[in-house]
Amino acid sequence: VSLIDNYHSMLTTSDDDKREVAEILESLKFINEDYYKVLLQKFFYGMTNREIGEKNGYSGEAARKKVKKALQVCREIVYSNVG
């Protein structure tokens, strides 16, 4: 989960960890396309919440909430695959 929470850690992670993150994001894509999109914008393109909101037609605060919810869903995916 820390890989998703901290984009900078992705720069030094192993290929296996990067594959795991990609699999989590792919799972998220099937659950909610909007969450998938905001996480890509936030953590892979380095966009701010304000930039994400402007790009998608909503406020920066709405973007912040979507990113937060998307991370929560990712955590649920990770934890459901652990047990």
pTM above 0.85, yes or no: no
Average pLDDT along the chain: 80
Print burial letters for 43-62: b (CB count within 10 Å at least 16), e (below 16). beeebebeebbeeeeeeeee
**Tens place of pLDDT for every residue, the chain, 83 residues?**
344 455 545 445 577 777 777 777 777 777 788 988 998 898 888 999 999 999 999 999 999 999 999 989 888 877 786 65
